[in-house]
Amino acid sequence: MKSMTRRQFIVNSTVVMGGLIGTGIVQPGVTMADEIEFIESACEKEGKKILVAYESNCGSTSGVAKAIADVICRQGIGVDLRRIGNITDISSYTGVVIGSAVKSSAWYPGVIGFVKDHQDHFSRIPVVYFLTCLALYKDTQKTRELAQSYFNPVLKAVPEVKPRAMEAFSGALDYSKLNMVVRMIMKSRMEKQGIPEGDFRDFQKIESWARDTVLPNLTAA
Ligand SMILES: Cc1cc2nc3c(=O)[nH]c(=O)nc-3n(C[C@H](O)[C@H](O)[C@H](O)COP(=O)(O)O)c2cc1C
């Protein structure tokens, strides 16, 4: 059998894992899943009912979805906040916010699948999309265009669903929540791009979007 040095092994493993993550064969895992909070809540009100559906790996997108749901609730509209894998029945909702963390320049495949599975209902009710990513760590015209392009895969996969608004938010990077291999790959990529570890979510921006864009679009008669 051909032997290889430790350095060659690490380089080869990184290339292989990078390829597998890129193709979606390997999903980015977490090492401390118990400590990651995926928030779900229900705000009961009379009349219209909104669903805020999200997917998140390390929890930061869950926090963004929660902030959006809280704004809707404070305005007196009923809202359920749910992680996508836990949603079974969507028939009672009059409007929906769908959001995902970005991996490999797109929403998680499961989120695209969720839109596809419910496209009949989602093409009859108002829908808005959001995402979290690290491209927006630097806020420039170029990074805003790049972040918006992350919606293209879902728009292409399910053209029947036409979101009334789409917003990209800056997310968070916490290496302690990534498994060893993903952490290694992300560290090398982020260092090249000059993106440090940290929480870059702008809750003022998120809440303004929820109030000024989500609410009017999802509750218009
Ligand atoms: C494996 C992996 C791949 C990622 N790919 C991208 C990417 O292609 N573009 C980008 O802007 N951000 C990318 N990110 C950054 C995440 O979208 C960002 O950290 C997000 O806030 C994570 O949300 P979460 O905490 O809800 O999982 C990636 C993160 C990981 C861990």
pLDDT tens track for 98-149 = 999 999 999 999 999 999 999 999 999 999 999 999 999 999 999 999 999 9
Ligand 1 pocket test, pick from 38, 130, 133 with the greatest ligand atom count within 8 Å of Cβ, gives: 133
**Please, how many CA atoms are within 13 Å of residue 90, restricted to the half-sphere of its CB?**
28
Whether residue 104 has its Cβ less than 6 Å from ligand 1: yes
Whether residue 127 has its Cβ less than 6 Å from ligand 1: no
Q: What is the reported pLDDT for 12?
A: 47
Q: What is the reported pLDDT for 35?
A: 79
Whether residue 148 has its Cβ less than 6 Å from ligand 1: no
Give the residue, by CA position, lying nearest to ligand 1 atom 2.
103
- 148 in helix, strand or coil? helix
- Cα gap 105→91, rounded to integer Å: 30
What is the CATH code of the structural domain delimited by 35-178+199-219? Answer: 3.40.50.360
What digits encode the pLDDT tens for the residues 153-187?
A: 999 999 999 999 999 999 999 999 999 999 999 99
Q: Is residue 30 very low, low, confident or very high in pLDDT (cuts 50, 70, 90)?
A: very low
Q: What is the reported pLDDT for 33?
A: 55
pLDDT at 88 over 80: yes
Given the CA of residue 62, which atom of ligand 1 is nearest to it? Answer: 26
Whether residue 64 has its Cβ less than 6 Å from ligand 1: no
Given the CA of residue 172, which atom of ligand 1 is nearest to it? Answer: 21
∠ CA 102-158-18 to the nearest 5 degrees? 30
pLDDT at 31 over 90: no
- Cα gap 121→115, rounded to integer Å: 9
User: In the predicted model, what is the mean pLDDT of residues 209-221?
Assistant: 93
Whether residue 65 has its Cβ less than 6 Å from ligand 1: no
What digits encode the pLDDT tens for the residues 6-22?
A: 445 444 444 444 444 44
Q: What is the reported pLDDT for 22?
A: 47
pLDDT at 52 over 60: yes
Q: What is the reported pLDDT for 220?
A: 82
Q: What is the reported pLDDT for 9?
A: 43
- Cα gap 58→173, rounded to integer Å: 9
Q: What is the reported pLDDT for 10?
A: 42
Looking at every residue in the chain, the average pLDDT score rounds to 89
pLDDT at 201 over 50: yes
3-state helix, strand, coil in the chain (%, to 5): 45, 20, 35
Whether residue 60 has its Cβ less than 6 Å from ligand 1: yes
Strands 95-103, 78-83: pairing is: unpaired
> CB of 129 within 8 A of CB of 163?
yes
Whether residue 161 has its Cβ less than 6 Å from ligand 1: no
